[in-house]
Amino acid sequence: MDPRSMRSREALRRAALDLAAVRPLADLSVSEICRTAGVTRDTFYRHADAPVSLVADALSVELAEVLSDVGELDSLSTAETLLLTHVKERADVYRGALHPSLAAPIRDVLERVVAGGLVEWLERHPEIEPPAIDDVPSREIAVAYAAGGTVAAIESWLRSGADDVAWATRAILAASPEWWLR
């Protein structure tokens, strides 16, 4: 991507996140994002198809940075804390995407990030897998189940208005199958 296009994409991401922090995601308009970013509608549509897609893209970039070294962490608790700290820092954006559940593109980003981290964790710690999860389809089911449950728990935490990351981490991990935490 050429430098001008990269600057435009970054300006759009920043504008979308800034605006999504002060109003519900469903109320964001392409025109408003373009004005804030200082770009044209044509430029917007070269980078995204809708405001919700742009916000999801911006969050995925942040999440990739936050969880880039998940395989090197000492525990899933640490990874969960990093994830929830990001969600807390962007709580206004995530809460603005709740209607009553997270908008699909936002939920997809979170599930993909959590699932990717779990796959990486299993690759690093194959000894934790129970015998019943000894093939690829079973592993994919276990990862999808854990990722979906984690995102549903995050939605519940966001709806509650709570912001205690340590408490939410403990609650999510307490609901997780024990074998993930070995």
Contacts from 162-170 at CB under 8 Å and sequence distance 24+? 163/88, 163/91, 165/81, 165/84, 165/85, 165/88, 166/81, 168/84, 169/77, 169/80, 169/81, 169/84
62 in any annotated domain: no
d(CA 148, CA 19): 27
**With bands split at pLDDT 50, 70 and 90, how would you rate the model's confidence at 72?**
confident
pLDDT at position 70, please?
Answer: 75
DSSP 125: -
Residues 41 and 99 in one domain: no
pTM: 0.93
Q: Is it the case that residue 1 has pLDDT exceeding 80?
A: no
Give residue-wise pLDDT tens across range 108-144. 999 999 999 999 989 888 999 998 898 999 999 999 9
The average confidence (pLDDT) of the chain is: 94
**Domain around 38:** 3-49
Give residue-wise pLDDT tens across range 22-45. 999 999 999 999 999 999 999 999
Token output for 93 = 């954006």
Residues 71 and 42 in one domain: no
Residues 71 and 45 in one domain: no
Q: Is it the case that residue 15 has pLDDT exceeding 90?
A: yes
Beta strands in the chain (DSSP E): none
Which among 19, 22, 56 is positioned nearest to 35, based on CA atoms? 19
Which among 66, 143, 73 is positioned nearest to 112, based on CA atoms? 143
Residues 44 and 128 in one domain: no
55 in any annotated domain: no
Residues 102 and 142 in one domain: yes
The total number of structural domains in the chain stands at 2
Higher local confidence (pLDDT), 18 or 124: 18
26 in any annotated domain: yes
d(CA 36, CA 71): 37
132 in any annotated domain: yes
**With bands split at pLDDT 50, 70 and 90, how would you rate the model's confidence at 73?**
confident
CATH code for the domain in which residue 34 is found: 1.10.10.60
Token output for 52 = 């919700």
Residues 82 and 131 in one domain: yes
pLDDT at position 74, please?
Answer: 84
Residues of the chain by 3-state class (helix, strand, coil), percent to 5: 75, 0, 25
